[in-house]
Amino acid sequence: MKALSEMKIALASDHAGYALKQDVMAFLRDRGAELKDFGCYSTESCDYPDFAHPMAEAVEKGEFDYGITICSTGNGICITANKHQGIRAALCWDVPLAEFARLHNNANVLGLPANYISKEKALACVEKFFTTDFEGGRHERRVNKIPVNR
């Protein structure tokens, strides 16, 4: 796995996730990650799909190694990101969930629920997500079956 200092990470949030996103970006910048904030840019009410879709498209195209989504519950913005065939966004509110999202599901987007997680727990999830490799093996077969082939 790449070191955080070698990673390109895309972030998206809504107004409820804005403050936590700022904390996450500071944490990642301190570790040398290259970041792009796809919005939102304030606590003014907004619609998370406006930011989740461009972020997910950029990760899907390989412009970024990973993404992070943050909204109040984490659900809406993860659901939106997961509409993209190449995205595996995992909603994580505890460190073991972040670990297994990478280890077993090869998640490429970490979803955080801003209203239901402390800053400390969120940063611990971020660290675990970005320091855990995909295990592959039997999990790779399952992950390969996720995209819808029509």
Question: Helix (H, G, I), strand (E, B), or coil: what is residue 110?
Answer: strand
Walk me through the domains of the chain, giving residue ranges and CATH numbers. Answer: 4-143 (3.40.1400.10)
pLDDT category of residue 99 using cuts at 50, 70 and 90: very high
Q: Is the per-residue pLDDT at 34 higher than 70?
A: yes
Three-class secondary structure of residue 66 per DSSP: strand
pTM reported for the whole predicted model: 0.96
Cis peptide before 40 (omega within 30 of 0): yes
pLDDT value of position 150: 58
**Which residues form the catalytic set?**
71, 104
* Per-residue pLDDT at 141: 93
The token pair at 42 is 């304030």
